[in-house]
Structure 1
Amino acid sequence: MLGAMRLYTEAPLTALAGLVESLGTAAIPSAQRTQALMIQSAVHTWAQTLHDLLDISPLESRALVLDESATNPREVIDGVIALLAPTAGQRGLRPTVSVDQTVATLILADSARLGQIFFHLLNRTIQHSTQGQIAVVVQADRLNAGSQRISIKLMETGREAVHHAQVPLFGPGASPALGGEWAAHLDACLALCQILAQRMQGELSVSNDSESAIRASFSAPFSVEQWGSSAELTSNAQAPLFASAASSQVIAASASSEPFERRYLDALSEEGINLHTFLSAWRRSMTDDLARLNGLHHQRDIDELHTLLHRLSGAVGLVGARSLTEALRRASTAPDLETSAIDSLIERGRTLVTQLDTAIDPHWSTIR
């Protein structure tokens, strides 16, 4: 079986990686070039990951050599997200990515190995999650004029929400023994990632604590090849996220507002999350999901509608919008949904997004 896998999977995939590289991207329009580079990174990550999965030699006997070159960390992360998005979707999960603008454009790294670490951490988080959303937060701390420490954190959002039709970790026909094998497989991949992280002089950790928001994290120092236009924004000092007018813990409800609790965002800030970058990604995700909810609602696709409502409940729960979280959660399990009720939830979601836009301190309102 291993021989067949190598013949029909690993070898053609290596060839595909070469073909993608040979295409070149210089003459491709900007948008397509970005997509092509992301696909190229995804193929390299996939090929490296598959190679190690098919290697039956003991882990301690392998020669793990880092092949460093100029690497765009955003392409690596986007490529892994693309590879695992179908798996996440089958489990009713949606990864969202927030990359701080201080993260360098190009770093010196083994792109395939870096992608492999993120692939296994994200896959592990997906397999162990029962929530509607996984937030990936990427940040950087400047070490000196030529290097920075990049950290990747994977977080579950809306941990109290459990989808009523959650896909089981091991299929309905899977035996307990198979489940044990798969769990052991995840642990073996984690052991490989630990070694790779050490070779990068970095740190890797995973959490099985149900109370912890952060499910996995990786950080390591990297030499910077290109800082990018936003590299000057490297100060760790953060201005208050909200203007002084919004100093109360709970933003009061009114006919044109949606209440949310500031302490939820304060907790993320205490974890070291750049709230401005995080909220920018959160708003984009919310806007996309609300638009999709409107379309599904009119198509009367009940199953997809329930999944989307569940996911939205986790997203709004992350920013402490308790009332809207509960309303979305109830709707996600309701056997029938009236048009007016869905319209109301969509409007409340849009109001919440607008409030977080206008609640940002004006001094920081231009930060993306």
Structure 2
Amino acid sequence: MPSAQRAQALVIRSAMRTWAQTLHDLLDISPLESRAIVLDESVTNPREVIDGVIALLAPAAAQRGLHPSVSVDQTVATLILADSARLGQIFFHLLNRTIQLNTLGEIAVVVQADLLNAGSQRISIKLMDTGSDAVHVAQQPLFGPSGDLAFAGEWCANLDACLSLCQILAQRMQGELSVASDSKSSTRVSFSAPFSVEQWGPSAELTSNAQASLFAIAAQSRDVATSTSSEPFERRYLDALSEEGINLHTFLNAWRRSMTDDLERLSGLHRQHDIDELRTLLHRLSGAVGLVGAGSLMDALRSASAAPEHETGAIDLLIERGRTLVTQLDTAIDPYRSTIR
């Protein structure tokens, strides 16, 4: 098949695998604590899993006036070792729960990754309310009488029971599952777990830069600092988010707070000689700036995270470039509309 059709077929296959596992557990009347849950790990494309679940639940979301939008960070590996059906099942229940408890709003799915070592990363999936008119409502059936006829019957799934299953699955994956108890919190649910990486992918070849010299990174930072007073970024990344329905004001407010906190932490951390924590923070920052299309700074931060040495001057320049980027994005959005100026 042509590559586009093949990619679509893989997403459909992932969706059916997730639905089969979910349906099996919904029909299982045995107590949850008595079930034998064994993970069947295989090479998995996390993007296919996420897209498959979105395809399954998009009709239910549309019926409630909701629009799910997905942002997968470039640092998330192309292939990981995981039980794809169980991973999809967790995301299915978390997204369904968010859909059931909200109406007339927007749901943002944000997928990010933190480097653990040369062969693994921690992947996190967060579901957030980004619509200004998001409202919490009473629990509704998974697929009600007005649901898509492709789903025969009505599924009055108990959200708490499904959440308990997700907690067990998260523990089996040595991960964490968090549900917001504060109704004012924008992040409704989040899941994270460590995964072995089978293929980083063209945008996340971290190991290839393991021997990169920080002197080169410092030189690159100085070149940028002397050649221009701004930090280059691709506006089409923000345009794409806006076209997907993401409220740029809400998105950038959260992004700015996270960046400012991490840059402040980085400012003091590299003087404490905590190499592992420093590398983790540099890698997280590279993913954050990549999210807004700051490719040059992303590459510099990623190279620094894998460099064997960390000179103070080079880190200071990276911090300065990060702060410049934050300042630029403060004025990049039209104050009256969610668009790029």
Q: What TM-score comes out, normalization by structure 1 length?
A: 0.57
Aligned AA for 1:186? L
Q: Distance in 2 between matches of 1:127 and 1:220?
A: 25
Letter of the aligned partner of 2:107 in structure 1?
I
The alignment partner of 2:124 has SS state of strand
Q: Residue 87 and residue 321 in structure 1: after superposition, are their counterparts in 2 closer, same or farther (change >3 A)?
A: farther
Q: Which amino acid aligns with 1:140?
A: A
Per the alignment, residue 195 of structure 1 pairs with 168
Q: 1:50 to 1:322 in 2, by over 3 A?
A: farther
Choose which of 52, 60, 64 in structure 2 pairs with 1:87.
60
Answering whether residue 172 of structure 2 is matched by residue 209 of structure 1, we say no
CA contact (8 A) 1:264 1:320 kept: no
Matched, 1:323 2:336: yes
**Mapped partners of 1:139, 1:89: distance in 2:** 25
From 254, 261, 266, the equivalent of 2:256 is 266
Unmatched runs of 5 consecutive residues or more in structure 1: 1-27, 174-180, 247-258, 281-318, 325-348, 356-368
Deviation at 1:322, TM superposition (A): 6.1
Distance 1:167 1:260 in 2: 25
The answer to whether 1:218 aligns with 2:208 is no
Measured against aligned partners, the alpha-carbon deviations of 1:128-179 in whole angstroms (never above 9, x if no partner) come to 1134211111111111111111110111103x4258xx99754899xxxxxx
1:132-281 to 2 correspondences below 5 Å = 132-158=105-131, 160-162=132-134, 169-170=139-140, 185-232=158-205, 263-267=253-257, 269=259, 274-276=287-289, 278-279=291-292
CA distance in 2, matches of 1:264, 1:63: 40
Q: 2:88 aligns with which of 107, 115, 121?
A: 115
**2:256 partner letter:** D
Q: Is the 8 A contact 1:156 1:213 kept in 2?
A: yes
Report what 2:31 is aligned to: 58
Which residues of structure 2 form unaligned runs of 5+? 146-154, 210-220, 222-227, 232-247, 263-283, 294-331
Report if the CA contact (8 A) 2:100-2:140 is conserved. Answer: no
The 1:210–1:65 alpha-carbon spacing in structure 2 relative to 1, beyond 3 Å, is: same
Deviation track 1:76-134 (CA, whole Å, cap 9, x = no partner) reads 00000000000000111111111111111110000000000000000001111134211
Contact 1:136/1:154 (<8 A) preserved: yes
Residue number in structure 1 paired with 2:241: none
**Number of residues of Structure 1 aligned to a counterpart in Structure 2:** 236
Matching residue's letter, 1:107: I
Structure 1 residue 211: deviation in Å? 1.8
The TM-score normalised by the length of structure 2 is 0.61
> Cα gap change, 1:125/1:279 in structure 2, threshold over 3 Å: closer, same or farther?
farther
Match for residue 75 of structure 1 among 48, 55, 60: 48
Partner SS, residue 70 of structure 1: strand
**4+ residue runs of structure 1 moved beyond 2 angstroms?**
166-173, 232-235, 243-246, 259-265, 267-280, 319-324
Instruction: Report the Cα distance in structure 2 between the residues aligned to 1:267 and 1:232, rounded to whole angstroms.
Output: 28
Q: What is the root-mean-square deviation in Å for CA atoms of aligned residues? A: 3.5
CA distance in 1 between partners of 2:64 and 2:133 (Å): 14
